[in-house]
Structure 1
Amino acid sequence: MPISHWVSWDSWDSAPRPLRLPIRSESLATAERISFWDDEGGATYLEFTVGMMTFFVILFGIIEFSYIFYQWNAATKAVQFGARLAAVSEPVASTLKTMTGVGGSVKPGDPMPTFDFECTATTGDGSAGTCTNSGAYSASAMQSIVFGRLNDGSGTSRTTCSSAPVGNPLLNGMCNYFSDITSAQLVKVRYQYTGLGYVGRPGGPNHTGGPVPTITVSVTGISYSFVFLNGLMGFGTATVPALYTTVTGEDLNAAGS
Structure 2
Amino acid sequence: MFRRFIISEDGTTMVEMAIAMTLLLTLTLGFVDFGFALYQWNGATKAVQAGARLASISDPVAPQISTAGAITTPGAPVVANSFDYICNGANSTCSCSGANCVAGVWTAANFNRIFQGDATGAGTCPGLAAGQRPGMCHFFPFLLPANVVIRYTATGLGYQTRLGGPVPTISVSLQNVNYHFFFLGGLIGLDNMAMPSMLSTVTGEDLKSTSP
TM-score in terms of structure 2 length: 0.81
1:214 pairs with 2:180: no
Quote the Cα distance in structure 2 between the aligned partners of 1:184 and 1:235. Answer: 23
Question: Does the 8 Å contact 1:88/1:252 carry over to 2?
Answer: yes
Quote the Cα distance in structure 2 between the aligned partners of 1:158 and 1:44. Answer: 56
**In structure 2, do the counterparts of structure 1 residues 150 and 239 end up closer, same or farther at CA, with 3 Å as the change threshold?**
closer
Aligned to 2:205: 250
- C-alpha displacement of 1:166: 1.2
Q: Which runs of 4+ in 1 moved over 6 A?
A: 35-38
Quote the Cα distance in structure 2 between the aligned partners of 1:131 and 1:59. Answer: 47
Structure 1 spans left out of the alignment, 5+ residues: 1-34, 152-156, 205-209
**In structure 2, do the counterparts of structure 1 residues 116 and 235 end up closer, same or farther at CA, with 3 Å as the change threshold?**
closer
1:95 pairs with 2:64: yes
**In structure 2, do the counterparts of structure 1 residues 129 and 199 end up closer, same or farther at CA, with 3 Å as the change threshold?**
same
AA matched with 2:89: A
Quote the Cα distance in structure 1 between the aligned partners of 2:190 and 2:12. Answer: 29
Aligned to 2:84: 116
SS at match of 1:67: helix
Quote the Cα distance in structure 2 between the aligned partners of 1:41 and 1:234. Answer: 37
Q: What are the within-5 Å matches in structure 2 for residues 63-82 of structure 1? A: 63-82=32-51
Question: Does the 8 Å contact 2:87/2:151 carry over to 1?
Answer: yes
- C-alpha displacement of 1:38: 6.4
SS at match of 1:83: helix
Give the number of the structure whose alpha-carbon radius of gyration is greater: 1
Aligned to 1:39: 8
Aligned to 1:24: none
Note the alpha carbon deviations across 1:96-132, whole angstroms, 9 max, x for none.
Answer: 12236213xxx12222132111111355xxxx42323
Q: What are the within-5 Å matches in structure 2 for residues 154-169 of structure 1? A: 160-169=124-133
Structure 2 spans left out of the alignment, 5+ residues: 98-102
| Higher mean displacement: 220-229 or 54-63 | 220-229
Question: Does the 8 Å contact 2:36/2:181 carry over to 1?
Answer: no
SS at match of 1:132: strand
- C-alpha displacement of 1:140: 1.8
SS at match of 2:49: helix
AA matched with 1:88: I
**Cα-Cα RMSD:** 2.8
**In structure 2, do the counterparts of structure 1 residues 228 and 166 end up closer, same or farther at CA, with 3 Å as the change threshold?**
same
Note the alpha carbon deviations across 1:71-109, whole angstroms, 9 max, x for none.
Answer: 111111111111100000011122212236213xxx122
Higher relative contact order (CA 8 A, sep 6+): 2
Note the alpha carbon deviations across 1:115-166, whole angstroms, 9 max, x for none.
Answer: 111111355xxxx423232333222211221123467xxxxx9873211211
TM-score in terms of structure 1 length: 0.68
**In structure 2, do the counterparts of structure 1 residues 75 and 230 end up closer, same or farther at CA, with 3 Å as the change threshold?**
closer
| Higher mean displacement: 109-118 or 94-103 | 94-103
1:131 pairs with 2:86: no
Aligned to 1:61: 30
AA matched with 1:178: F
SS at match of 1:237: coil
